[in-house]
């Protein structure tokens, strides 16, 4: 990208995030592209204005060094020569500013058109529900049996329009995956829609952008954009119920899960656990992170999260379980089968 090697220090500082998967200036969707190119137009126009203004002020500074010798008494404005010329210059500059601002306004309206939601019958409909402090995701379908839920990790196909319905049952959250789109608030009582079409496969990081309480900082999510065929494979797997435990340890682990407080909040399809107060765990082991992007999904982290959630994420709704080491190991064995 040419812009990454910009000669200007200012620009160089501002574009160093070109390669990341969570940057407004590293777009990977139609919408993020539109915003990013608008950003660069604003950036150059306003950047040049800034440099001109500061340069003019600095010239005043050096000009006055030359003039320092002849400080004389102030004169009334109407007796200063060239005053009307100065007024004319100011009027012209004001006119130029108006024209530039109008240009930027038109530019802005064109970009807004790209973002305006359009009716696309082939769109994939997702409902994202924000909770303190995790994301619930439901993949909709005409056929109710094909509807399924997951949490904190969204898979989408590249090149297809995705329509997110956003809602919140508790406080205001904001869905923001910078490489894919700007943010949209999840306001209780005001369902909203966010439409985007990913153009580049990849894993994109996002997190809640509206302050939502103690663990606002740890309310992350991943969006994995993949080819239509990869997505179809994933979707099929995601619709399936959880696999039954095989070994004795796994079976014991499942018993611990089903007979403890876990089931009061979590669901694993194919079992009696069906509560949706917390993230769906049917395919927990296939996800990359736990606790809404707080920790990488490893056995050690899972153990820590189950035993000491308040240490990992103070204030989170998950209570510590205080399991015996053997029971914990079996529970982990079971949870790791939930691929």
Partner 1 sequence: MSSSETKSETAVMRLVEAPDQTRRSVDEKNLHHVWSRVEGVIGWLCTTNHKEISLRYIITAFGFFCAAGVLALLMRLQLSVPNNRLIGPDLYNQLFTVHGSTMMFLFAVPVMEGVGLYLVPLMIGTRNVAFPRLNALGYYVYLAGGLVLYGGLFCNIGPDTGWFSYVPLAGPDFSPGKRVDFWAQMITFTEISALIAGIEIIVTVFKQRAPGMSIDRIPIYVWAVLITAFMVIFAMPAVMLVSTMLAMDRMSHVATHFFNVAEGGDALLYQHLFWFFGHPEVYIIFIPATGFVSTIIGTFSRRPLVGHSALVLSLIATAFIGFGLWVHHMFATPVPILGRSFFTGASMLIAIPSGVQIFCWIATLWTGKPVWKSPLLFVLGFFAIFVLGGLTGVMLASVPLDLQVHDTFFVVAHFHYVLIGGAVFPLFGAFHYWFPKWTGRMLDEGIAKLTFWLMFIGFNLTFFPMHQLGLEGMPRRVYTYHANLGWNGLNMAASIGAGVMGIAVLCFLYNVLKSRRSGVIAGNNPWQAPTLEWATTSPPQPYNFLYQPTVNSMHPLWFDRPNQPFVVGLKTDRREVLTTTLLHAVPEHIHELPEDSCWPILLTVVISGTLLGVIFNPWPFVIGMIPMYIVLFAWFWRDIDLKHLGRAK
125-154: contacts with partner 1 (CB under 8 A)? 132
In sequence order, which residues have a C-beta less than 8 Å from that of residue 218 and are 6 or more positions away? 133, 291, 292, 293, 294, 313, 316
- List 2, 57, 122, 325, residue binding partner 1 (CB under 8 A): 57
Question: Is residue 50 part of the contact set for partner 1 (CB under 8 A)?
Answer: yes
Least spacing, CB of residue 205 vs partner 1, in Å: 7
- Classify 6 as helix, strand or coil: coil
Spatial separation of the C-alpha atoms in residues 55 and 160, rounded to whole Å: 48
Least spacing, CB of residue 138 vs partner 1, in Å: 19
* CA-CA-CA-CA torsion sign (192, 197, 203, 205): negative
Question: Is residue 274 part of the contact set for partner 1 (CB under 8 A)?
Answer: no
- List 4, 87, 274, 288, residue binding partner 1 (CB under 8 A): 87
Least spacing, CB of residue 68 vs partner 1, in Å: 8
Spatial separation of the C-alpha atoms in residues 38 and 25, rounded to whole Å: 10
Q: Are 293 and 222 in contact (CB under 8 A)?
A: yes
- List 1, 4, 5, 49, residue binding partner 1 (CB under 8 A): 49
Write out the H or E segment, with its range, that includes residue 154.
strand 153-157
- List 4, 16, 120, 300, residue binding partner 1 (CB under 8 A): 16
166-225: contacts with partner 1 (CB under 8 A)? 170-172, 174, 176, 178, 181-185, 187-192, 205-218
Least spacing, CB of residue 14 vs partner 1, in Å: 6
**Between 218 and 254, CB nearer to partner 1:** 218
Question: Is residue 163 part of the contact set for partner 1 (CB under 8 A)?
Answer: no
Spatial separation of the C-alpha atoms in residues 87 and 84, rounded to whole Å: 5
CA-angle at 78, arms to 72 and 81, nearest 5° = 65
Spatial separation of the C-alpha atoms in residues 218 and 277, rounded to whole Å: 18
- Classify 29 as helix, strand or coil: strand
**Between 123 and 187, CB nearer to partner 1:** 187
**Between 213 and 320, CB nearer to partner 1:** 213
Question: Is residue 71 part of the contact set for partner 1 (CB under 8 A)?
Answer: yes
Question: Is residue 106 part of the contact set for partner 1 (CB under 8 A)?
Answer: no
Per CB under 8 A, the segment of 38-46, 235-243, 257-265, 300-308 that binds partner 1 is 38-46
**Between 266 and 313, CB nearer to partner 1:** 313
Spatial separation of the C-alpha atoms in residues 97 and 89, rounded to whole Å: 12
Least spacing, CB of residue 223 vs partner 1, in Å: 13
Question: Is residue 74 part of the contact set for partner 1 (CB under 8 A)?
Answer: yes
Question: Is residue 99 part of the contact set for partner 1 (CB under 8 A)?
Answer: no
**Between 275 and 310, CB nearer to partner 1:** 310
- List 83, 120, 300, 308, residue binding partner 1 (CB under 8 A): 83
According to DSSP, the residues that pair with 164 across neighbouring strands are 126, 194
CA neighbor of 309 nearest in space, from 175, 218, 222: 218
Length reported for the chain: 339
List the 124-131 sheet strands across, edge first: 148-151, 134-139, 124-131, 162-167, 192-196
Question: Is residue 97 part of the contact set for partner 1 (CB under 8 A)?
Answer: yes
In sequence order, which residues have a C-beta less than 8 Å from that of residue 110 and are 6 or more positions away? none
Question: Is residue 251 part of the contact set for partner 1 (CB under 8 A)?
Answer: no
**Between 16 and 275, CB nearer to partner 1:** 16
């Amino acid at each position: 990208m040419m812009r990454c090697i910009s000669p200007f220090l200012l620009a160089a500082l501002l574009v160093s995030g070109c390669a990341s998967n969570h940057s407004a200036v590293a777009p990977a969707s139609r919408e993020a592209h539109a915003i990013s190119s608008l950003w660069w137009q604003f950036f150059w126009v306003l950047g040049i204005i800034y440099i001109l203004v500061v340069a003019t002020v600095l010239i005043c500074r050096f000009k006055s060094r030359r003039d320092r010798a002849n400080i004389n008494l102030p004169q009334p404005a109407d007796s200063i020569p060239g005053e009307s010329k100065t007024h004319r210059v100011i009027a012209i500059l004001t006119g130029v500013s108006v024209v530039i601002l109008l240009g930027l306004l038109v530019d802005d309206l064109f970009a807004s058109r790209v973002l305006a939601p359009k009716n696309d019958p082939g769109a994939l409909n997702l409902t994202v529900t924000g909770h303190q402090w995790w994301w619930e995701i439901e993949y909709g379908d005409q056929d109710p049996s094909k509807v399924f839920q997951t949490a904190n990790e969204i898979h989408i196909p590249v090149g297809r329009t995705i329509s997110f319905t956003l809602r919140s049952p508790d406080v205001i959250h904001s869905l923001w995956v910078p490489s894919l789109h700007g943010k949209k608030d999840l306001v209780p009582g005001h369902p909203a829609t966010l439409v985007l079409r990913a153009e580049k496969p990849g894993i994109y990081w996002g997190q809640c952008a509206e302050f939502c309480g103690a663990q606002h900082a740890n309310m992350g999510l991943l969006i994995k954009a993949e080819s239509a065929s990869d997505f179809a494979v994933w979707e099929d797997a995601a619709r399936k119920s959880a696999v039954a435990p095989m070994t004795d340890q796994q079976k014991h682990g499942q018993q611990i899960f089903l007979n403890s407080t876990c089931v009061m909040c979590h669901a694993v399809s194919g079992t009696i656990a069906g509560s949706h107060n917390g993230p769906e765990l049917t395919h927990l082991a296939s996800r990359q992170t736990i606790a809404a992007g707080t920790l990488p999904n490893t056995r050690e982290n899972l153990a820590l999260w189950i035993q000491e959630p308040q240490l990992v994420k103070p204030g989170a709704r998950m209570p510590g379980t205080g399991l015996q080491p053997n029971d914990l190991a079996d529970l982990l064995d079971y949870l790791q089968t939930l691929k």
